[in-house]
Structure 1
Amino acid sequence: MNIANALTLMRFILIPIFIYVLYSERQGSIMAATFIFILAGMTDVLDGYLARKYHMVTKWGQAMDPLADKLMQLTVLFCFTDKGFIPLWVVIVIGIKELLMILGALILYYNKDKVVIPANHYGKVATVMMYAAILAVVFHLPFRTYLMGIAVFFTLLAFHNYVIGFRRVHSRRL
């Protein structure tokens, strides 16, 4: 396992830690959980940089990196919805989109060629926008609602591009 993949694995480990910290009764638990979320985002950027710069790109990393991101984002969204910070419709829209993408990724990965559709530009923008929107919600910034709407828009745009890529790859396999 290379360092980029270890950072991806670390993001999976941060998910239950985020939940534990957020729901603890300690003062400052929301800020501490937010710090864990930011740390996860930093490991995402770092593992992508290292994988590309030092030629550590692997099929496992291409499949697990976006899965770690999706699970972290969904966890944060579900927990913050439960806490009343984020409206339920955001979790429903993004949750359905992420589940469909995970199913598509599994279909393509668990065939004889282990095909992975790498993240596209829209997906990366959507991830950055979602992180920004969640931070805006936590810090009660006045434009948080607009930022969340923009994040959802880019998330749906990324999904649209993923569907196009999925159809292209899947139709070649038939």
Structure 2
Amino acid sequence: MNFPNLLTTIRIILVPLFIYIFFSPMKNNILYGTIILFIIGLTDILDGYIARKYNMITKLGTILDPIADKITIFGVIISFIHVDLIPYEVFIILFVKEISLALCGLLMYYSKESQPLSANKFGKIATFSFYVAVFSILFDFPQIVSQGLIGLTVVLNIFAFFSYFTIIYTYYNKDYHAN
């Protein structure tokens, strides 16, 4: 396991810790949860940067990274819904998008070329917007700002979904058009 994959694994391990701290009765639980979430976000940026810069991209990493993203997104969203920080409709939209992409990614991975569905710039922007929206809530920005950022995150995720769908569609139709 290389260093970027280790960072991704750490990110996966930190999500349950975030949830535990977030719901704990300890003093400053939200502050500590925010710090953990910041570390999760930082490792998300670092693992991709290091993997690309030092040519350490692996098949394992292209599988683990989106899993870590999904675990983080769902862990945070479910936690926020539970304490009424965001509406459940956000979860439904992101759930449909993420599960659809996960299923398509599995199909691509188990296809004849074993090609995993890699992150693209639209997915990265959508993930970044998710972190910005979440931190706006955790840092108690005005509600209109946080709601706007959540709305923007939803729109960017829908856009990212269609971007990935285009990649998947092209992948599965390249043989058809080559003939």
- The answer, yes or no, to whether TM exceeds 0.5 is yes
Partner of 1:117: 117
Q: CA deviation at 1:153?
A: 0.7
Percent identity at matched positions?
37
Q: CA deviation at 1:49?
A: 1.0
Equivalent position amino acid for 1:68 in 2: A
Compared CA separation, residues 31 and 165, structure 1 to 2 (3 A): same
Contact 1:85–1:138 at 8 Å: present in 2 too?
no
Q: CA deviation at 1:173?
A: 6.2
5+ residue gaps, structure 1, are none
Residue of 148, 151, 162 corresponding to 1:149: 151
Contact 1:109–1:116 at 8 Å: present in 2 too?
yes
Partner of 1:91: 91
Larger deviation, residues 45-54 vs 108-117: 108-117
Residues 107-142 of structure 1 deviation map (CA, whole Å, 9 limit, x = unaligned): 111234221222111111111111000111112212
What does residue range 21-170 of structure 1 map to in structure 2 within 5 Å?
A: 21-142=21-142, 143-170=145-172
Equivalent position amino acid for 1:166 in 2: I
Give the SS at the match of 1:63.
helix
Partner of 2:2: 2
Equivalent position amino acid for 1:17 in 2: L
Residues 33-65 of structure 1 deviation map (CA, whole Å, 9 limit, x = unaligned): 121111111001111111011110011111211
Give the structure with higher Rg (CA): 2
TM (norm. structure 1) is 0.95
TM (norm. structure 2) is 0.92
